[in-house]
Chains A and B, each alone.
Chain A
Amino acid sequence: MLETDPMPESGGPSRTKLLLARPARAVNACAMDADPYRLVVPASFLLGGAAGYVMHRGDFCIAGMFRDLFLFRRAAPLKALLLAVCLSMAGFEGARALGLLGAHPFPLLGTASLANVLGGLVFGIGMVLAGGCVVGCLYKLGAGSVLGLVTLVGLVGGSALYAEIHPWWSSVARSGAILGTAVTVPQALNLAPWVLLAPLLVAAVALLAGWLGRGELSCDVHPEGYLQPWQTATLLAVVGLLSYLLVGMPLGITTAYAKAAAFVELWLAPGHVEELAYYRVESLSYVPPFSEIRVSGGPGPRLDAVAAVQFPLILGIVGGASASAVLLREFHLRVRLPWRQYLSAFVGGILMGLAARAAPACNVWHLLGGLPILALQSLLFIAGMVPGAWLGSRLVARLVLR
């Protein structure tokens, strides 16, 4: 029996209950139904492939952007990130105004809690220790990084750890809930989104135009097959918009790690999985684009809407990065590495897995998905992630890479 947790993917009152309360046109499918997923699955896979390819070519590592700001005072990559955020902002708002988006705010995005800050903090530490974020480790894994694989194992482990503490964390997040049922800043202020987005975009365009004109979003010296930062940022913004249009939400993958953990636990300790309330949570309920059937899913060990959206996306990212690396003859496996780095990658993965469930979600979801629509959860997550990255940078420089 599916249980609707009052604190599903969010840090506030249950949106899931609201979604389930709407009359569904047809069956609320728990099993994979070919009809609503016929576009979602291939779109997720192809968009993941594009993202993985582009990120490898441009080495668009968001974790590295924040880490290198603190370690080397290097801000240039963050300018490319700002470009991606602004293009996404304009793209999402334009699509919303044209009535092209099925749901706005998009599914899996919840209300705000101060717990989002703590989740972001732990995530920031973890992503720097791991040498890459949740998506970063995937594209590096695709290029042959053994440490990326170790981080992936840690991510699944961290997600499993979260399932153990979910009841406690849910109560913590509920006690820190703020701003009621508002999901975005415009909603909290009762304003149309463009009222806030327009001046932000004007200011950002002025900045970006200057940087682009001075060549600050390009690199003169670069590896083979390189995609310049402005190119990578633009392409990722396009991929994110296409994901919103075709899948129903921007790029997001972290619930899938919890689902993978659930499957592993089901195999190892089926009785224990039954005891964990988290795996019965239904965090996603929506009508996919170009479908009229409502689908649902969650972190539990079943093939459902979360599996349909996120598993193909993960496979696509790894596949796209692999294709890029193989074409450049840069796919290599190295296993003889310092033990500290193996430990750091694993611990970083554990922290990210834990934080991605607690926050909830990851930096790509919040920076390239929530931030462009001024989601409150995303702003709070980022507010925690940045100092977390600073702390992680101190740890990695003094303890891991000394």
Chain B
Amino acid sequence: MFLIRKHPSTAKTDHAAAPRAQQCLELDVCGQLCPSTLLTALKVVNERQDELRRGDLCLRFRTDNRDSITTIPDALRNMGYAVAIDKEEGNYLIAVTAETRRGPLGS
């Protein structure tokens, strides 16, 4: 069972004042067995949460799994992260940063 922990603070932060991530880590989970995308996202976010919350790190998950687009944003938003989705060369890119203010969500 993979727990989705709620972030204690729901205060909005000024987007312009938020520090830019210094490192962006991209993980490619295209073609993998379901539910690899969601499990990988939860696992890596939990493992790197300190760097994420400090703003030192942003994560990008490259996936072709359509179901993960409907599950990951909500799951990570509930954990206090901002999620942005883009489509590139037929794959979906799910970008995760630590901003507590909800970022743009694309479809």
Contacts and interface: CB of A to CB of B under 8 A. Distances in A.
Asked whether A and B interact, the reply is yes
Interface in A135-150: 143-147
Given A222-B107, A224-B87, A226-B107, A345 B33 contact: yes
Given A59-B66, A223-B66, A332-B90, A400 B33 contact: yes
A72 B92 CA distance: 22
Contacts of A59: 66-67, 70
Nearest to A57: B66
A138 to B, nearest CB: 14
A146 B31 contact: yes
Given A222-B69, A329-B90, A401-B36, A334 B31 contact: yes
B67 A64 contact: yes
A47 to B, nearest CB: 22
B34 A223 contact: no
Interface string B65-100: 011011101110000000001010111100000000
A68 interface: yes
A337 interface: yes
Contacts of B64: 143-144, 330, 332, 334
B6 to A, nearest CB: 14
B38 interface: yes
Interface string A197-223: 000000000000000000000011111
A331 interface: yes
Contacts of A328: 90
B70 A341 contact: no
A334 B35 contact: no
Interface of A is mostly: loop
B32 interface: yes
Sort chain B's interface into a size bin. Answer: 20 to 34
Nearest to A340: B33
Nearest to A333: B31
A74 interface: yes
A341 B33 contact: yes
A344 interface: yes
B105 interface: yes
A56 B1 CA distance: 27
Contacts of A271: none
B24 interface: no
A227 B85 CA distance: 18
B39 interface: yes
A331 B89 CA distance: 10
A61 interface: yes
B90 A223 contact: no
**Max count, chain B CB within 10 A of own CB: residue among A59, A72, A74, A396:** A72
A23 interface: no
Given A64-B67, A332-B90, A341 B1 contact: no
A97 interface: no
A84 to B, nearest CB: 17
Contact of A145 (B31, B89, B92, B105): B31
Nearest to B89: A329
A334 B34 contact: no
A166 interface: no
B39 A338 contact: no
A341 B32 contact: yes
Interface string B31-68: 11111101110000000000000000000000010110
9 contacts: A71-B35, A72-B1, A72-B2, A220-B105, A221-B73, A330-B66, A330-B91, A332-B64, A335-B31
Given A74-B71, A341-B32, 18 more contacts: A56-B66, A63-B34, A67-B35, A68-B35, A71-B2, A71-B39, A72-B71, A147-B33, A222-B70, A223-B66, A223-B92, A224-B87, A226-B66, A330-B91, A337-B31, A337-B32, A337-B33, A401-B40
Interface of B: 1-2, 4, 30-36, 38-40, 64, 66-67, 69-71, 73-75, 85, 87, 89-92, 105, 107
